Chain A
Amino acid sequence: MSDKKTPKMGSDRVYKTVFTEDMKKDYTILVPDMLPIHFKLIIKIYEKYGYHMELLHNTSRNVIDEGLKNTHNDACYPALLVIGQFMDALKSGKYDVNKVALLMSQTGGGCRASNYIHLIRKAVAAQFPQVPVISLNFSGLEKNPAFPMTPAIALRLVYAVMYGDMLMLLYNQCKPYELEPGITDQLLARWQHRLGKLLDGNDYLSPKPIYKAMLNEFAALPRSKEKKPRVGVVGEIYVKYSPLANNHLNEFLLSEGCEPNVPGLLDFILYCASDLINDARLYDKKTKRTLIYDIGYKVLYKFQRQQIKVIEEHGVFQPPHDFEHLRRCADKYINQGVKMGEGWLITAEMAALAETGTKNIICAQPFGCLPNHIVAKGMSRVIKEAYPDANIVAIDYDAGATKVNQENRIKLMLANARS
């Protein structure tokens, strides 16, 4: 086993094991359960490149206990859950702890979330110093020679996100109306399988026919014409998507007879990409990276436009928000300079949802989330002024919060929605 250290990796207080080339073949890389649909695709991609990954599904109370034990009391809930999930898995006996590595995404920026990976390392190093913790990031924050972000991988990841978003969108728009219980889930599973295969080859690069096939097959599902209240879900990126974190919010909304409207992950990626572009505009601050971000943004935006166009032409389903439109929505309430955490994107998504008829909006956030003080709770007043019938409810998620309280608040919102 190698104990080689990458340069500038902190103090001697915390032992860090680096993921090396020779670990690649027989190590299992554990991935936290954030976006079930998307992450399954991402794991497929990494398999193609010779990594063996596993999406964690452990959700017992012990996950939370381990999280509490191994993180600071005031660390936010996503950090707590991810650490809890990792520690629970490492202690479960299910894995050979000498042949396992952990993967965590890292976005950087002024939110404390960019420190999650360090918190994980501290927790892991105390008990499993041999386990490497790998950062998954697009920004070059941490480089890991045996886990490179090559352009080829990056492109596949981007497509995985877009296909994942599409699947999530179609699922949420069909599931509430399905006439044959379970049939939407079946179709979802089939497409997950199919997309995994597509991403293995090169066909994924021409998405139009794939999108069309997806649209057609979902449109062909027998659905009722009944009107159901649409409920938008925005919020901190982990809590918004992860069923473990949000107490299965999507399922709950479906069981309450609503249509969940959960904006896709691509928005968040575009938001990250627009960061340096906004900085350049606001502060006349241009670096080499600004240019790269600019190109990246344009490419991604083009991809999004293409997806929206296909959905619009097909004419059955409601497409995602156009990102440039989201930026304009934000401008009415908040400056795009608010770039920490999910920043202005949350405000923009709330406004865009309200504008397109999804008046009921849940803002899912970890208890005490710093940016959300500003962009979520802080902006609901102005959004309500603009859309008086908008019904925004901020729900805090936390190790101590109970489902009863959360659901009761959502039920109040739904009672209003139906009246």
Chain B
Amino acid sequence: MNKIYSLGIDVGSTTVKTVILDGENIIYNRYERHFSKVRETVGEQLRLIRDIYPTETFKVAITGSAGLGIAEACGITFVQEVFSAFTAVNKAYPDADVVVELGGEDAKIIFLTGGVEQRMNGSCAGGTGAFIDQMAGLLGVTPDELNELSLHAKKIYPIASRCGVFAKSDIQPLLNQGARKEDIAASIFQAVVDQTVSGLAQGRKIAGKVLFLGGPLSFLSGLRKAFVDTLKLDEEHAVFPELAPCFMAYGSALHAQQMGDEMTIDEALDKILNAKAKDSIVTGKPLFESQEDYRRFVERHKQSDLKYEDIKTYRGDAYLGIDAGSTTTKLVLITPEGKLLYQYYGSNKGQPLDVIAAKLEDIYSLCTDGLKIKSSAVTGYGEDLIKAGLGVDYGIVETVAHYKAAAYFCPDVDFIIDIGGQDIKCFKIKNNAIDSIMLNEACSSGCGSFIQTFAQAMGYEIADFARLGLFAKAPVELGSRCTVFMNSSVKQAQKDGASVEDISAGLSSSIIKNAIYKVIRAKSVEELGKNIVVQGGTFLNDAVLRSFEMELGRNVIRPAIAGLMGALGCALFAMEKSKNSQKPSGLLNKQQLREFAYNSVATQCNGCTAHCSLTIIKFNDGHRFISGNRCEKGAGIKIENHVENMVEYKYNRILDFEKRKPVNPIAKAGIPLALEFYDLMPFFHTLLTELGFEVVLSEESTRDTYYKGQQTIPSDTVCYPAKICHGHIESLLEKGVDFIFYPCMSYNVDEGQSDNHYNCPVVAYYPELLKANVPGLNSDNFIAPYLDLNIKKHVAKVVAASLSRYGITPKQVASVLNKAYSEQVRYRRSIEKKAQEIIAQARKNGQKIIVLAGRPYHIDPEINHGIHKLIGSLGFAVVTEDSVAGLVDCPPLDVLNQWTYHSRLYRAAEYVCENDDIQLVQLVSFGCGIDAVTTDEVRAILEEKGKLYTQLKIDEITNLGAAKIRLRSLAAALEEKEENVR
């Protein structure tokens, strides 16, 4: 009888693994990247096996995320991959307690002892192999180099790990500030570990003998080290099997022994290669019907080009514009007539300063002595650094730079859309001023780097990849969400047999759909205006440009230097500014540039509890540049005429309650410094203190508070203010309180200005979730009665019942209740009074005022990341929504106004509309579903009265780069408006 082998094929999101078993023994295993050519690679792998075993019979089973489709189509047995892993581990390591497996796009944990449980990452898929690849790309290194770098780290920065887009926005400023790549590399690995521990383990401890599987973990020693260190495992308890990358394939081979069909390799090949996919893919129209079509398109766009002048012969004035973007650096040098002398567009390689210095050197070496750079300006993420390092004369906000450049090509422009590497910026122009700005947010980030990442993943250069799409016959419909989702869409399309051409075209169109549907959210083309200018490097890609025109059904203007528009705007700005000035440019000259050198040091600011991560760059001429700071303190600057900041006032006011203690306390009652307590602290603190309890507040929030509780967060898409609550509970437990008092409240206080007065579901019921998920809590130490503060009698009864074991009676509660209510009213009055003081003071100083409108808990410095300070440092006075909401009645609304906190937003907007010198900035926590309702309504209220609307989205990301652009754009737009009035 012929021997029967078993073959396991694991087709993952990025690789194909094969394992052959002869009985118990593994006689063959192989690991190969598939570059998204899934079926071809599987075919190749099978042929390799056929070369060794041409006629033998195999029992075959397929596993893996990309294997599902293949298996279904060809009828070969499929085993779910986590289940494969489970089988393989049981066989090879029966004594393992936990398995951690990181794959290309999936992360999994299997708990083996104490109740078997298998978990996969949900829809937000940070912390996987693809994530690491992406981050390595961002640093301009291979994953192996990233690994090597990480081993020499000295410092770990906090990096959001939930998704690649978030992480990028944390990493980019670090790079731009000159942080060490070694430190960033290690921080990336740490982020992956944190994501696995918090996102997947969710409260179950990863302990005992832990088995680490999957490609990334077996190839990246730095990642292994991060896991071992974080989980505090010794060598004996951290197992990295040699076979780790092929473990799933091994598992499926084991399954094949039981249930696989018998076949030869030839038969298997035949099945797989000839399988027909059952799903049909949705396809769109081709971008161009013919070469002729394309030629006409190219001709049309050629019309918007600059004239050129030879730098080698030119004599006269010149103006330098620099756009130090998040991933790319752009630079132009123009003559006073706007002719282009020099241009550069390239990656900043994580070292924008070096790249720009080199280009400047290049300019100096090319030009004649007769060329004089009269003035220079810089914009973009790296603005401050470049300005400080190279002596650039002006720094301007990106939106202004882009508008300047667009108006140069099309003076009547009324809509500009810029798609760069990392962000999408759109603005409407009304009366020669920027009227509204739309920027992309975390979960809608299909930008330039996204297509680039895909091109790389599929083994192409970006330019070649894009060109492939131009004549695709049936571009696939890929949807329009985030990169990770897009990966799976692409996977699905490939499974269904879409060609690279079709995918390329599909990706181009998905970027456009993302921009139109998610960022601009235009309901009709008319809304965008007649004269649309598109710019940004991504639009140099003809497929993207064409998709945009097709989706709009209208032609647009793309300047030939679309990628350099920010830089051109800067150059134009520099020219304007120096028109009437004789001041020489401060730009480093040839000699100075030759001597230019710097070094950077990472440190931490100790100015306040925010402890910003600072990067200090010392230039060789002795001056320093500090970045990473949120306020002037970090930069070592003192501001005079300091107006009090409402956010700080409220925060201190809330914290001050902790000082009030009863004489002989009955017991220690803990109150978490989180969510609604930032509003109702006066009431609850007074109530408990008056009843004789010593009230202990949890620690002031820091990033560490979040880490402290992150293991018990069951839902990784809930908002950050809720997530950090877990840390506050841990903090109270550490402080040894006798009990934590944290009521559930469907209803908040009825302020008489809304249809109803609910709390949001998360605020209302978070205690229920905490009770069910924080192991340290029980019915003794966690008191969470259901309260409706509007019904005094009931409050007296229920609070007394919940504290009955301390002998508290309803009568007693009733006797102190009025005091608690009065304290709450007193607090409300005090912040309203303070707001008026701040406004009066600001008016006296001639400062503009901003209502920072969010939720009470947005005063937590770890939640707002110091945005109020940033606003203050831009010269605005800051008040909050609740400090002005009481001054007006609620305006007519088109939504159901049923949440107390959100109702204040509408009233604050109404108040802002009544005051010319006050603006509103809405603060929104990522994941707050209710703000999907409120933001549009607040915007509508403001825009009806001609006010600008600015929204800032915040999460655990500490990077304020995007916020800064928005706020500075707001300031610039206000200035322009004022100038127009004059």
Q: Which A residues have a C-beta under 8 Å from some C-beta of B?
A: 10-14, 61, 64-65, 68-76, 108-112, 114-115, 118-119, 121-123, 126-127, 141, 279, 282-285, 333-335, 337-341, 367-375, 377-382, 384, 388, 394, 396, 398-405, 407-409, 411-412, 414-416, 419
Is B489 an interface position by the 8 A CB rule?
yes
Is B524 an interface position by the 8 A CB rule?
yes
Residues of B close to A283: CB separation below 8 A: 786-788, 791, 794
Take A284-B791, A378-B714 as given contacts and tell me if A69 and B521 are in contact as well, using a CB distance cutoff of 8 Å: yes
Q: How far is the CB of A406 from chain B (nearest CB, A)?
A: 9
Residues of A close to B899: CB separation below 8 A: 110
Residues of B close to A110: CB separation below 8 A: 746, 756, 758-761, 764, 898-899
Q: Which of A69, A72, A411 contacts B936 (CB 8 A)?
A: A72
Residue pairs across A and B with Cβ atoms less than 8 A apart, 17 shown, are: A11-B940, A65-B513, A73-B518, A74-B927, A110-B898, A141-B896, A282-B788, A338-B764, A340-B764, A371-B761, A394-B122, A396-B123, A400-B479, A400-B485, A404-B68, A412-B81, A415-B80
Q: Which B residues have a C-beta under 8 Å from some C-beta of A?
A: 65, 68-69, 78-83, 115, 117-118, 120, 122-123, 202-203, 282, 441, 443-444, 477, 479-482, 485-486, 488-489, 491-492, 495, 513, 516-518, 521-524, 714-715, 717-718, 722, 744, 746, 756, 758-762, 764-766, 768-769, 772-773, 786-788, 791, 793-794, 797, 891-896, 898-899, 927-933, 935-936, 940-941, 944
Residues of A close to B714: CB separation below 8 A: 373, 377-378, 380-381
Tally of contacts, chain A with chain B, CB under 8 A: 233
Q: How far is the CB of A337 from chain B (nearest CB, A)?
A: 4
Residues of B close to A334: CB separation below 8 A: 768, 772
Residues of B close to A72: CB separation below 8 A: 521, 932-933, 935-936
Q: Are B786 and A335 in contact (CB under 8 A)?
A: yes
Residues of B close to A121: CB separation below 8 A: 894
Residues of B close to A69: CB separation below 8 A: 516-517, 521-523
Take A337-B746, A404-B65 as given contacts and tell me if A378 and B772 are in contact as well, using a CB distance cutoff of 8 Å: yes
Most buried by A among B78, B715, B899: B715
A115–B117 CA distance with the chains assembled, in angstroms:
38
A126–B524 CA distance with the chains assembled, in angstroms:
10
Residues of B close to A61: CB separation below 8 A: 282, 477
Q: Which 3 A-B pairs have the closest CB atoms?
A: A400-B481, A110-B758, A378-B769
Q: Are B788 and A374 in contact (CB under 8 A)?
A: no
Q: Are B894 and A122 in contact (CB under 8 A)?
A: yes
Most buried by A among B83, B203, B929: B929
A10–B892 CA distance with the chains assembled, in angstroms:
5
Most buried by A among B764, B765, B898, B932: B765
Take A282-B786, A284-B791, A399-B479 as given contacts and tell me if A73 and B932 are in contact as well, using a CB distance cutoff of 8 Å: yes
A76–B975 CA distance with the chains assembled, in angstroms:
37
- Chain A's closest residue to B65 (CB) is A408
A73–B515 CA distance with the chains assembled, in angstroms:
12
Q: How far is the CB of A385 from chain B (nearest CB, A)?
A: 9
Residues of A close to B762: CB separation below 8 A: 370, 373-374
A380–B203 CA distance with the chains assembled, in angstroms:
12
Take A284-B793, A333-B772 as given contacts and tell me if A408 and B765 are in contact as well, using a CB distance cutoff of 8 Å: no
Q: Are A368 and B517 in contact (CB under 8 A)?
A: no
Residues of B close to A414: CB separation below 8 A: 80
Take A370-B930, A388-B115, A400-B482 as given contacts and tell me if A337 and B744 are in contact as well, using a CB distance cutoff of 8 Å: yes
Most buried by A among B80, B118, B794, B893: B80
Q: Are B717 and A368 in contact (CB under 8 A)?
A: yes
Residues of A close to B764: CB separation below 8 A: 110, 338, 340
Inter-chain pairs besides A12-B892, A283-B786, A340-B764, 12 sampled, C-beta below 8 Å: A11-B940, A69-B522, A70-B523, A110-B764, A334-B768, A369-B929, A374-B761, A396-B717, A400-B481, A403-B492, A414-B80, A416-B83
A280–B479 CA distance with the chains assembled, in angstroms:
47
Take A283-B786, A399-B480 as given contacts and tell me if A384 and B117 are in contact as well, using a CB distance cutoff of 8 Å: yes
Q: Which of B120, B481, B758 contacts A412 (CB 8 A)?
A: B120
Q: Which of A11, A70, A382, A384 contacts B115 (CB 8 A)?
A: A384
Take A334-B768, A404-B65, A416-B83 as given contacts and tell me if A381 and B793 are in contact as well, using a CB distance cutoff of 8 Å: no
Residues of A close to B931: CB separation below 8 A: 74
Q: Which of A112, A337, A401, A419 contacts B932 (CB 8 A)?
A: A112
Q: Which of B794, B894, B933 contacts A10 (CB 8 A)?
A: B894
Most buried by A among B115, B282, B766, B772: B772
Q: Are B797 and A284 in contact (CB under 8 A)?
A: yes
Q: Are A11 and B892 in contact (CB under 8 A)?
A: yes
Residues of B close to A384: CB separation below 8 A: 115, 117
Q: Which of B69, B479, B773, B929 contacts A112 (CB 8 A)?
A: B929
A246–B174 CA distance with the chains assembled, in angstroms:
41
Q: Which of B492, B513, B768, B930 contacts A404 (CB 8 A)?
A: B492
Q: How far is the CB of B516 from chain A (nearest CB, A)?
A: 7
- Chain A's closest residue to B791 (CB) is A283
Residues of A close to B786: CB separation below 8 A: 282-283, 335, 337
Take A73-B443, A340-B764, A377-B714 as given contacts and tell me if A118 and B894 are in contact as well, using a CB distance cutoff of 8 Å: yes
A11–B443 CA distance with the chains assembled, in angstroms:
31
Q: Are B765 and A13 in contact (CB under 8 A)?
A: no
Residues of B close to A399: CB separation below 8 A: 479-481
- Chain B's closest residue to A367 (CB) is B123
Q: Which of A14, A333, A409 contacts B894 (CB 8 A)?
A: A14
A283–B792 CA distance with the chains assembled, in angstroms:
10
Q: Are B894 and A126 in contact (CB under 8 A)?
A: no
A119–B936 CA distance with the chains assembled, in angstroms:
10
A159–B647 CA distance with the chains assembled, in angstroms:
55
Q: Are B524 and A341 in contact (CB under 8 A)?
A: no
Q: Are B480 and A68 in contact (CB under 8 A)?
A: yes
A337–B744 CA distance with the chains assembled, in angstroms:
8
Q: Are A75 and B768 in contact (CB under 8 A)?
A: no
Q: Are B930 and A10 in contact (CB under 8 A)?
A: no
Take A69-B516, A379-B772, A411-B68 as given contacts and tell me if A74 and B80 are in contact as well, using a CB distance cutoff of 8 Å: no
Residues of A close to B765: CB separation below 8 A: 338, 340, 371, 374-375
A285–B717 CA distance with the chains assembled, in angstroms:
34
Q: Are A411 and B80 in contact (CB under 8 A)?
A: yes
Q: How far is the CB of A9 from chain B (nearest CB, A)?
A: 8
Q: How far is the CB of B894 from chain A (nearest CB, A)?
A: 4
Most buried by B among A64, A110, A337, A367: A110
A115–B892 CA distance with the chains assembled, in angstroms:
15
A378–B746 CA distance with the chains assembled, in angstroms:
17
Residues of A close to B202: CB separation below 8 A: 381
Q: Are A118 and B896 in contact (CB under 8 A)?
A: yes
A282–B785 CA distance with the chains assembled, in angstroms:
9
Q: Which of A64, A115, A340 contacts B896 (CB 8 A)?
A: A115
Take A76-B929, A119-B933, A411-B80 as given contacts and tell me if A373 and B718 are in contact as well, using a CB distance cutoff of 8 Å: yes
Take A110-B759, A112-B930 as given contacts and tell me if A402 and B489 are in contact as well, using a CB distance cutoff of 8 Å: yes
A71–B523 CA distance with the chains assembled, in angstroms:
10
A412–B108 CA distance with the chains assembled, in angstroms:
11
Q: How far is the CB of B62 from chain A (nearest CB, A)?
A: 12
A234–B931 CA distance with the chains assembled, in angstroms:
26
Q: How far is the CB of A349 from chain B (nearest CB, A)?
A: 16
Residues of B close to A108: CB separation below 8 A: 896
